[in-house]
Amino acid sequence: MSAPTEPLWKRWLDRLLMLNVLLVASGAVFFTVAVVAQSQGRDQAMDLFQQLWQPLFTPAISLLIMAALISGIVSWWQRRVQTADRGNGN
C-alpha cells in the first residue's frame, strides 16, 4: 500500500506555518541581539525591533499560538472519536 497523499492546500498551509515558526524564532534572536546592543548604548536595533513589533511579530506570534491550539484541539477530538469507536466494537 502506498501512503495517502495529502491535499495541496495542506502542504501549502504547513509551509506557511513553518515559515511563521522561522519568523518567530528569528524575531526572538533579533530581540536578544537588540537587548544586548541596547545594554551597550546602541539603540538602533531596539528601535527597529519596536517598529516591527506591531505589524510583523505580533501577528506572527498570534498565528503560531492559534495554530498550536487548533492542532491540539483537532488531535484531542480525533483521539476522543477513536476511543469512542473502539468502545462500540468497530
20: which 3 cell numbers? 511563521
Q: Where are the domains of the chain?
A: 8-87
- Residue 87 in this model has a pLDDT that exceeds 80: no
Sign of CA dihedral 62, 68, 70, 73: negative
| Verdict on whether the full-model pTM lies above 0.95 | no
- The pLDDT tens digits for 25-36 are 999 999 999 999
* Per-residue model confidence as pLDDT tens digits over 58-81: 999 999 999 999 999 999 998 998
| Cα–Cα nearest to 32, from 49, 19, 20, 44 | 49
The three-state secondary structure class of 7 is: coil
CA 21 to CA 15: how far, in whole Å?
A: 10
